[in-house]
Structure 1
């Protein structure tokens, strides 16, 4: 029994190891989720925004803290009325005064500074999230473009094979005196044009892969797998403007950061008005005579806010900054909602185009091609008509692939505006 179980267990372990090794050796890029996972971990721009947000969060505690206290020592009568040489020994001078001072802002200023720092930290977090949504949108868009190029390249190769077969049909008819040599030449010219298109598609694919690798934090020439499938578009009911408007207002990273900026500007204005009131410095001072402390002093110091013109200017500045923040927030909201409406219209158009191609244009083009092929083989139509029919199929399939890619690009833009996936 033992001799049967051990080889079986060993075989299972080897199979798991082999599967893991194969998975690690395969380049990423088959799915958009695999690319997003790498970008989130390795993109340097997003990492920089995350550290900025972390740094802004760490500013909250210092912003609300009291300033460090100050200690002053004063050595008085260091010559003892000329009775001794100058000295700084506390037990030999006339007296030594120690002053411990603490600056204390006016009531509420510390809380306002802390709240401003918290709101600025929230704004930094919103900018970090906005950075990620921008990066993820670029990754999704490039993935859709690579999918389009991959499928277009595959379609071009299929049409190229078809043209090779059509050339053979034309050669047979030309050999039998049923067609002109021009038909064979035109078929060869079409093949040459398609091979040039394949070269251009391969070059464009390499350029897109380099841009995608840059977003992933990988070398520009690092290998990427062929895109396998696009994400399924959400149901039309989930893409209603009224249903998405509130989500955009509440979760869009740009609006989140703009709202935080408005609130921070409001707190800054309130803090500026509190500068009309003085700040304090409190102190306690023991005085040492030889080896004993024989006197104690307590002091209170405050600044006198006499520079009213300067403070009025600062207050006007705070009011202007608040107005500016509100207007920028409104402008951002208008732009975001306009982009939402635009992309919802675009994704609807892409969906309708794909449906129209699948249900009408492509079947009609295929029927036209079959009829033209049969007519050419029997001499009822010329080779130009057959080529036009073949081009109609190609254009229909290209439109189908383009509509699918456009829908993915629009979906990525909508998710960027939402700040989350659909």
Structure 2
């Protein structure tokens, strides 16, 4: 809506005054990069996000070793080290003992096992990467929500200061009418009481601003008292409604990092189940064994070794365990999908409700409150209205402004939740 719709005029002694939310809207051009800059700072400095990224990198490094062959084994056997039956003294040098046997062995996993281990490790790496993305999405949502709350507190403080200035003018008007004998002194006293109450509320709002700033700085991993470069500015809202629920649900199924993590976990569990099934088949060890007598290799031997999968009871238990783990991963993925889609529908409804409330307040409630205040002020100065009516009109203006700012902040917080559930910016 045009910014001028958020402004109102006071007749007589009251100058033009604009809503705090209008001031925030006007600052969008100058501070539009503030929130993106804070998000970039959070991504770069957050130790939590850095830890998740490093864990994802570590998981990615496990993929190649998972599919590699085991290291070969070299065995050296020194036989007849005491040189029995000869005049030579005992010795440990291979060419000075009776016989030295070298055995080089290599384990060859059963058919398909190496590929299954590599695919399982790859799925686990994808899960770690998705969980790192989920950690960032959660942090981004918290930064956006804290930023919106800080904008609300700053806007409320600005609004209170404006109304405090208006209260001073109302007190002056009451003092003038009292000096002229047209009103009682209680009108000026009530105006002073209203100012005192607003000053107390302003102190609380300023304290809340400091608390919210400290929370935001904590999310950004910087000192708690670090000020923002510019006053907080709420970013504009994208055009969304409950009619977009189906498309957003499909995007959430494809992009939500927690869902992707559970799907990767399910894939890893299924590969693990296949790997356990392949353990029914033996692994193979092959080796070559040259024998040395003196300085010459005299004989060669070949070795073939395999394990016998005879412990069927234990193997069946392992297979049932792997099947149960795969089914549990599938159930978790399905449960998380239902939960996230329900949250998405709820946040989308909250966003639409906040947008409708904002339009109602801005287009009807605020203009009506403005007219009521102008009428009460004109009536009081002409002696046709009581000072209580003027204070009530002022309170209605304040409540309307606060409600408008609250709905705008609630809409941004709902949007932050939606973007977390989608796993992407809108």
**Fold-level similarity (TM above 0.5):** yes
Match for residue 151 of structure 2? 147
User: Who is 1:292 aligned against?
Assistant: 296
- Runs of 5+ consecutive residues of structure 1 not aligned to the other structure: 1-27
Structure 2 segments unaligned to the other structure (5+ residues): 1-30
> Hey, what's the Cα distance between the residues in 2 that align with 1:138 and 1:274?
46
**Contact 1:143/1:227, CA 8 A, preserved across alignment:** no
TM-score (norm 1): 0.91
1:375 aligns with 2:379: yes
Structure 2 residue corresponding to 1:397, chosen from 383, 396, 401: 401
Question: Within 5 A, what are the aligned runs for 1:230-269?
Answer: 230-236=234-240, 240-269=244-273
Q: Say whether 1:69 aligns with 2:72.
A: yes
Query: Aligned partners of 1:262 and 1:236: how far apart in 2?
Result: 33
SS in 2 for 1:102: strand
Conserved in 2, the CA contact under 8 Å of 1:29 and 1:226? no
Q: 1:10 — aligned with what?
A: none
Query: What's the counterpart of residue 310 of structure 1?
Result: 314
Query: What secondary structure does 1:236 align onto?
Result: coil
Residue 43 (structure 1) aligned with residue 54 (structure 2): no
Deviation at 1:390, TM superposition (A): 0.5
Kept in 1, the 8 Å contact 2:344–2:421? The answer is yes
Task: Work out which of the residue numbers 210, 223, 226 in structure 2 matches 1:222.
Answer: 226
Q: Is the 8 A contact 2:242 2:349 kept in 1?
A: no
C-alpha contact 2:96 2:294 (8 A) present in aligned 1: yes
Matched-pair contact (CA < 8 Å) for 2:160–2:202: yes
Q: Work out whether residues 239 and 344 of structure 1, in 8 Å CA contact, stay in contact via their aligned partners in 2.
A: no
Which of 350, 371, 392 lines up with 2:354 in the alignment?
Answer: 350
TM-score, length-scaled by structure 2:
0.90
Q: Give 1:279's match in structure 2, choosing from 279, 283, 297.
A: 283
Confirm whether residue 162 of structure 1 aligns to residue 166 of structure 2: yes
- The answer on whether the counterparts of 2:366 and 2:397 sit within 8 Å (CA) in structure 1 is yes
Q: Are the aligned partners of 2:150 and 2:232 in contact in 1 as well (CA < 8 Å)?
A: no
Aligned pairs, how many? 395
Q: Which runs of 4+ in 1 moved over 2 A?
A: 79-85, 225-229, 236-239
For residues 291-323 of structure 1, what are the alpha-carbon distances to aligned partners after superposition, in whole Å with 9 as ceiling and x for unaligned?
Answer: 110100010111112222211111111111111
What are the within-5 Å matches in structure 2 for residues 127-206 of structure 1? 127-206=131-210
Deviation per residue, 1:262-312 (Å, 9 max, x gap): 111100000011111111111100001111101000101111122222111
SS of residue in 2 equivalent to 1:293: strand
Alignment partner, residue 11 of structure 2: none
- Once residues 209 and 421 of structure 2 are traced to their aligned partners in structure 1, the CA distance between those partners, rounded to angstroms, is 28
Among candidates 73, 78, 81, match of residue 78 of structure 1: 81
RMSD: 1.4
Whole-angstrom CA distance in 2 between matches of 1:204 and 1:226 = 18
